[in-house]
Amino acid sequence: MTGSSIERALEILRNGGLVAIPTETVYGLAGDASNEAAVRRIFEAKGRPADHPLIVHVATAQQLGDWASSVPPAAAVLAETCWPGPLTLLVSKAAHVLPVVTGGRDTVGIRVPAHPLTTELLTRFGGGLAAPSANRFGKVSPTTAAHVVADLGSGVDYVLDGGACPIGVESTIVDCTTNPPQILRPGGIGSEEISALLDGTLAGADGPSRAPGMLASHYAPTARVMLVDTAAEAAALAANSSGGWILDHSDDLSEYARSLYADLRSADERGVAVIIAVMPPAIGLGHAIRDRLGKAATP
Ligand code: TXA
Ligand code: MG
């Protein structure tokens, strides 16, 4: 069932049910992070292996200390500056954090999402919501309520419809348990911005994602994806081969990120055999788009 009732979403979450929630990045499949049975249902609904940890979403940056055993200075700076926003911080977990949430690890990922409906939901809920992206395991993340319904159907009790996600790619994950901190997954905030906030002490800023579960072919559509560096190369390839659908917003990184997953889904729906994608420059959101396109191109 899809709707915009926060009341209904709260009731379901308090009873251990699952609600798909809108965020500024992608939709999440949320359950009460303190309810082991609810968290287990998340893994079942997604078809996700149990050792892939979940991000805990909270209403405010002040709640970071409730979920972390200690807050390193870098985490404090990033939380203060970037939250609410598309950033997940990895910190040592507090004793009460359930192993089912962290996949048995001693760290936990925390994020304060920026979406008015979800902010109100989290504020009224009070606790943390464990939420991976609301797609079936191995599929691209959902950026609309309709994508969630298409992927999860009756696996989710309610879809809180907050419209299309404005950023369109997942949060940047920064591991704050290492010195210097390191980027595990490029995402909605560019590594340049994070590095500047940390006075240049940041590892892994240009690399591919290394968070567990970010398999090489994680974001695969059914269509074959070919990567090129310029629009001219894409046109030549499309002309020389038997067609191919060109994906290119490399002149507008925000638009590229916002529409990326919806475009990959619609190419599959239309039975497109080959997607020819133009790689955007490796700056800002471009890091995340390049990472996801690279994974989509890996069979
Ligand atoms: O934008 C986002 O981050 C979205 C929205 C819903 O918040 N969530 C999201 O969750 O992308 P998910 O589960 O699809 O991806 C989270 C990634 C996974 O690769 C997971 O393995 C990694 O974060 N992760 C979470 N907690 C971790 C931990 N304690 N240690 C290492 N990796 C962790
Ligand atoms: Mg995911």
Q: What Rg value do the Cα atoms of the chain yield, rounded?
A: 19
Interval 255-297: pLDDT, tens: 999 999 999 999 999 999 999 999 999 999 999 999 999 989 9
DSSP letter, residue 279 = P
Instruction: Give the integer Cα–Cα distance in Å for 58 and 56.
Output: 7
Our measurement of the distance from residue 213's CA atom to the centroid of its chain's CA atoms, rounded to an integer in Å, reads 12
pLDDT value, residue 17: 98
Strand partners, 31: 130
Interval 30-85: pLDDT, tens: 999 999 999 999 999 999 888 899 999 999 999 999 999 999 999 999 999 999 99
CA–CA–CA angle 190, 165, 216 (5° rounding): 55
Residue 207 has pLDDT above 90, yes or no: no
Question: Which ligand number lies closest to the CA of residue 185?
Answer: 1
pLDDT value, residue 212: 67
Interval 97-112: pLDDT, tens: 999 999 999 999 999 9
pLDDT value, residue 291: 93
Residues with CB under 6 A from ligand 1: 23, 25-26, 28, 52-55, 88, 90, 102, 105, 107-109, 111, 113, 131-133, 170-171, 173, 211-214
Residue 241 has pLDDT above 80, yes or no: no
- Considering only CA atoms, which residue is closest to atom 24 of ligand 1? 53
Please name each of the domains of the chain with its CATH number. 2-204 (3.90.870.10), 224-296 (3.40.50.11030)
pLDDT value, residue 286: 97
Core vs surface per residue 176-193: b (16+ CB within 10 A) or e:
bbeeebbbbbbbbbbbee
- The preferred substitution site among 18, 23, 55, 82 for testing ligand 1, maximizing ligand atoms within 8 Å of CB, is 55
Residue 19 has pLDDT above 90, yes or no: yes
Three-state SS at 110: strand
Residue 95 banded pLDDT, cuts 50, 70, 90: very high
Instruction: Give the integer Cα–Cα distance in Å for 296 and 171.
Output: 18
- 159 — phi, psi (to 5°)? -110, 115
Whole-model pTM? Answer: 0.96
Alpha helices in the chain (DSSP H): 6-14, 36-46, 64-67, 73-82, 99-102, 116-125, 145-152, 191-197, 231-240, 253-269, 286-296
